[in-house]
Amino acid sequence: MIRISRRECLAGLGLAGVAAVRAEPGAPSQAAGPRAPRRLDLTDYRPRSCLHLPATRVERARYPVIDVHTHLGFSSSGRHGVASEEMTFVAQPGTLLPVMDRKNVRTMVNVTGGFGKGLAESLARFDQRSPGRFISFTEPRWDRLSGPGFGREQADDLARAREAGARGLKVLKTLGLVLREGGATGALIKVDDRRLDPMWDACGSLRMPVAVHVADPEAFFLPTDRFNERFEELNNHPDWSFHGGDFPSFRDLVDAFDRVVARHPRTEFIAVHFGLNAENLASVSERLTRYPNLHVDTAARIGELGRQPRAARAFFEKHQDRILFGTDAVPNGDDTPQQVFGDALYEIYFRFLETEDEYFDYAPAPVPPQGRWCIYGLGLPDAILRKVYHDNAARLLGIEAR
């Protein structure tokens, strides 16, 4: 067994000086001042673990990977969450492919492929230039939502998008949290609004899976106060909080989504971010059992899964045919280190899924960005890894097995 001295440990906390004064035997007793606990700004706190543990570097996934959740471009955000056809791309195939090859990532699914002219640009830039390596999803054009024929028009658009090469539909969390009737002042559009039914149905008949993001972590719906487990993240990004105002509750949003899934049994839904509720695996498990057309991805949620490794491992065993590998990777944007595309990001995901390493960072960042905790690997068996990395997504996306 390797031991570490108390002094070494404390040095990691930047408290060595104070500790030395305290620990000195026979030192004259000090006045209350120097002995009083110091106050330390949370933003300065950088504890270094004193655990001596094996660290396994997994440079390359054990099986070929389909990353079902990445963002290689974005529709320019218009007013009130209504996106336009203009795209902003954040990556070129030429810079992505070497990383993908090194990491054994066969295919990246660019979920925010846009619509109309924007989708055509996404397809030309990625899918058509590197067939098989990139797959684009399309997105709804919400600017027509207030019109009478929205659902029908959207269904027609989807058929055209499918024809052009899009392989699925992505719905961002703007639905339920941002999009409103008649612009800025109207009521929020409900996730299970009946006007959307033809759109969900069309995805089923066109065999286009729908990746849906509604709600956000449970903590984003709670006050940003000292009891909030994601205080630092919300404090750094106040606009990520959905507490107060006329926002629906977390539960209302997820329940509305579940009603959509129940109403459209022929449509395959991917509830991103581990079923929208990685904090409550029992609930996600129950929903997967209830809805055979529901799937989940791992995107940006290994921080949640890895801090409950026994529950997560049991979940992966039970629902091994319904879990898709996703990272939420974005090739730029230092704001969300848990999503920055690159070798480091993939290696953390692989380590989490493949090894039984303990207590390691879930993001390549000096401070854990989603909450101050570390994660534990699941050590999944080969048969499950193969499904999660590749086979489940291949089946859903209609990619032939190799």
Q: How far is the CB of 130 from Zn ion (least distance, A)?
A: 21
The residue whose Cβ lies closest to Zn ion is: 328
- For residue 114, the minimal CB distance to Zn ion (Å) is 14
Site string for Zn ion, 308-347 (x = CB under 5 A): --------------------x-------------------
Q: How far is the CB of 328 from Zn ion (least distance, A)?
A: 4
Report the residue number, 109 or 384, with the smaller CB distance to Zn ion.
109
Q: Specify the residue, 139 or 357, whose C-beta has the smaller distance to Zn ion.
A: 139
Distance separating alpha carbons of residues 242 and 271, to the nearest angstrom: 19
How is residue 89 written in tokens?
């791309």
Cβ closest to Zn ion, residue 69 vs residue 313: 69
Nearer to Zn ion, 193 or 328 (CB): 328
Q: How far is the CB of 213 from Zn ion (least distance, A)?
A: 6
Nearer to Zn ion, 43 or 76 (CB): 76
The residue assigned the tokens 């899924």 is 353
**Residues contacting Zn ion: total by CB under 5 A:** 1
Q: Minimum distance between the CB of residue 334 and Zn ion, rounded to whole angstroms?
A: 16
Nearest to 278 by CA among 304, 307, 260: 304
Q: Which is it for the CA torsion 242, 69, 269, 134, positive or negative?
A: positive
* Position 67 contacts Zn ion (CB under 5 A): no
Give the separation between CA 35 and CA 29, rounded to whole angstroms.
9
CB of 393 to Zn ion, least distance (A): 15
Contacts 24+ apart (CB under 8 A), 389-392: 389/61, 389/62, 389/63, 389/64, 389/65, 389/66, 389/325, 389/353, 390/63, 390/64, 390/65, 390/66, 390/106, 390/325, 392/295, 392/321, 392/322, 392/323, 392/324
Q: Residue 143 CB: number of other CB atoms within 10 A?
A: 15
> Considering beta carbons, is residue 328 or 347 the nearer one to Zn ion?
328
> Shortest approach of Zn ion to residue 299 CB, angstroms?
6
Shortest Å, Cβ 67 to Zn ion: 11
Give the CA angle between residues 163, 168, 174 to the nearest 5°: 125
> Which residue lies nearer to Zn ion by CB, 240 or 359?
240
Residue 245: left (phi > 0), alpha (psi -120 to 50), or beta? left
In the structure encoding, which two tokens stand for residue 370, read together?
Answer: 């989603």
Q: How far apart are CA 327 and CA 338, in angstroms?
A: 8
Q: Which residue from 79, 18, 85, 105 is spatially nearest to 341, judged by alpha carbons?
A: 105
**Residues lying near Zn ion in the complex (CB under 5 A):** 328
